[in-house]
Amino acid sequence: MHSAKHGESQPTPTTIASDVTEGASDAGPAIAGPDRGTLLTVEVPRGTVVLAATPIGNTGDASARLRALMEHADIVAAEDTRRLHDLARRLDVHVNGRVVAFHDHNERAKADGLLDEVEAGACVLVVSDAGMPTINDPGLSIVRRAIERGLPVTCAPGPSAVLDALALSGLPTDRFCYEGFLPRKHAERVQRLRSLQAERRTIVFYETPHRIADSMDDLLSAFGPDRRMALARELTKDYEEIRRGTIAEILDGVVMDPPRGEIVLVIAGASEDEARENSASTLSVEELAVLSIDRALEDGLRIKDAIAEVIEEHPLPDGSLANRKQVYSAVLEIKQ
Ligand code: SAM
């Protein structure tokens, strides 16, 4: 362990020689090749926060840097300390530094204390349960505070389900947006999806098996049956599966054969026509009222039903809908 000494003005990095193949895979024997047994030189920087990605299922995806950092960081801030030790056991790595729990509920409170140690010369490694810290996982607080305090922060990148699923989806990767998990509540989910109806970029969501059927129903309502998508599950694991098709086809598959395990949804962006049709409303309440009156006359609807239709078709930029009462009042004023 590299103990942090107060007053050290220029902490020097520690260089570690690491055997990159030993114990590298739990999915079978390590593949023999020219690199077998090669010694890599890995730097463990002093006086620095290091975010490191951990495997999202396949232990073989652990990088040489991750292993060296787990072994030689002064402090390991882990989302779940038991899972850290479990990973260390699978990697045959000994964690020499102090291990502290660093999760959603305490990361803000703990960030400054850890950064005091960084200031004193420690290497603080931040890892989450799986994948990249900060991507729907803890880590952002310490990055922000490190930036504010002018302390070095770096990253040992690696597996993350977003990029894995995106790359395997077969959908455009040149422009994409990551939306994390959809809201749990139906009304909020519908509003979020409405706000994405005109999104031209490929959209990536994280999802869970117990909400996938409801989310697929809402995706179909928001984007229509024919939009292309991919459902990626259990990435990097033995039962990795990628289902590709239209939203209607994937929904059918979800009903017939509910997917288990960890899931990422990748949805194609809107076509130019869809984007134009769905672009967020900048219509005023008065304009919505005029449209509603026209709709009621043309389709023989009650004015309240016409208003409901019109405001549904013209969501506001955040996906919410205009206030029905306000549109109704505007209709009454126009009719006077
Ligand atoms: N930090 C992680 C990352 O970089 O991907 C994400 C953590 S988030 C709490 C967990 C979610 O990521 C899961 O519910 C699932 O949607 C997705 N995920 C993680 N591992 C996955 C895998 N092996 N296959 C598919 N999705 C995965």
Sequence ranges of the domains in the chain: 14-159, 162-277, 280-335
Which is nearest to 61 in space by CA: 90, 95, 97? Answer: 90
Question: Other CB atoms closer than 10 Å to residue 111's CB: what's the count?
Answer: 26
Q: What class, spelled out in words, does domain 14-159 have in CATH?
A: alpha beta
Question: Is the C-beta atom of 59 inside 6 A of ligand 1?
Answer: no
DSSP string, 157-195: ----HHHHHHHHH-S--SSEEEEEEPPSSHHHHHHHHHT
Is the pLDDT at 183 greater than 60, yes or no? yes
Residues 100-139 have pLDDT tens digits of 999 999 999 999 999 999 999 999 999 999 999 999 999 9
Q: How many CA atoms lie within 13 A of 260 on its CB side?
A: 3
Residues 278-324 have pLDDT tens digits of 776 678 899 899 999 999 999 999 999 999 999 988 888 788 889 99
Token readout for 99 is: 């291990």
Residues 196-249 have pLDDT tens digits of 999 999 999 999 999 999 999 999 999 999 999 999 999 999 999 999 999 999
For residues 51 and 126, the answer to whether their CB atoms sit within 8 Å is: yes
pLDDT band at 22 (very low <50, low <70, confident <90, very high): very low
Question: Is the C-beta atom of 215 inside 6 A of ligand 1?
Answer: no
Residue type, 9: S
Residues 45-99 have pLDDT tens digits of 999 999 999 999 999 999 999 999 999 999 999 999 999 999 999 999 999 999 9
Question: Is the C-beta atom of 25 inside 6 A of ligand 1?
Answer: no
Question: Is the C-beta atom of 236 inside 6 A of ligand 1?
Answer: yes
Label the pairing between strands 263-267 and 202-207. Answer: antiparallel
Residue owning the nearest CA to atom 23 of ligand 1: 235
Question: 161 alpha carbon to ligand 1 midpoint, in Å?
Answer: 5
Question: Is the C-beta atom of 51 inside 6 A of ligand 1?
Answer: no
Question: 224 alpha carbon to ligand 1 midpoint, in Å?
Answer: 26
Q: Tell me: domain 162-277, CATH 3.40.50.300, correct? A: no
pLDDT of 13 reads 74
Question: Is the C-beta atom of 306 inside 6 A of ligand 1?
Answer: no
Phi-psi region of 154 (alpha: psi -120 to 50; beta: other; left: phi over 0): beta
Task: Provide mean pLDDT across the span 34-49.
Answer: 76
pLDDT of 37 reads 52
Eight-class DSSP state of 22? T
Task: Provide mean pLDDT across the span 134-152.
Answer: 98
Question: Is the C-beta atom of 136 inside 6 A of ligand 1?
Answer: yes
Backbone angles phi, psi at 39, to 5 degrees: -95, 120
Task: Provide mean pLDDT across the span 21-39.
Answer: 41
Ligand 1 atom showing the smallest separation from residue 134 Cα: 1
Match 């530094």 to its residue by tokens. Answer: 97
pTM over 0.85: no
Q: Any idea how long the chain is? A: 336
Question: Is the C-beta atom of 234 inside 6 A of ligand 1?
Answer: yes
Residue owning the nearest CA to atom 8 of ligand 1: 136
The whole-chain average pLDDT of the chain stands at: 89
Ligand 1 atom showing the smallest separation from residue 232 Cα: 25
Is the pLDDT at 253 greater than 60, yes or no? yes
Match 């208003």 to its residue by tokens. Answer: 307
Question: Is the C-beta atom of 206 inside 6 A of ligand 1?
Answer: yes
